[in-house]
Amino acid sequence: MKQILVVALGILSLFANAQTLTAWKKVQIERFGTESIFKDLDGKKLNGKYKIASKSGNYAEITFEKGHIQGERLDYNSDEQLVSRKKYFDVKVNGEWTFFDENGKIKATENYKNGKKDGKFWKNM
């Protein structure tokens, strides 16, 4: 009985962490001022974890809640190198945004609070 429970929990955790793979051309973005709502081509708001690719091979890993980005957004280039890390909370940009160069070193940081620029901005020239 214990083994069945362990296997069942393992399978459930796989589905809980599963990503939906799609392309940006299959995502609609509706903008209302600073708010963006992301939907599929059928008009359904995106929910859950997504890996969204562009034609060039660049891609983003994003979690959506009711069509809004929630949590951390990671953007990668076609060589699978991290290009930027952005944080969202309560439908707005919140926290530090970090941008990386081709060597993985931080080239810029920006800070946001409730969707507005806040605090220090830093750029490595």
CA of residue 82 relative to chain centroid, distance: 12
58-106 pLDDT, tens digit each? 999 999 999 999 999 999 999 999 999 999 988 888 999 999 999 999 9
71's tokens: 């949590």
Taking the CA atoms of 92, 25, 61 and 109 in sequence, report the sign of the dihedral they define: negative
Least confident of 1-5, 42-46, 66-70, 108-112: 1-5
Q: Domain extents for the chain?
A: 20-123
pLDDT at 102: 92
The pair of three-digit structure tokens given for residue 96, joined into one six-digit string: 């530090």
Of all residues in the chain, what percent carry a pLDDT higher than 90? 68
What confidence score (pLDDT) does residue 1 get? 58
Its pTM stands at 0.81
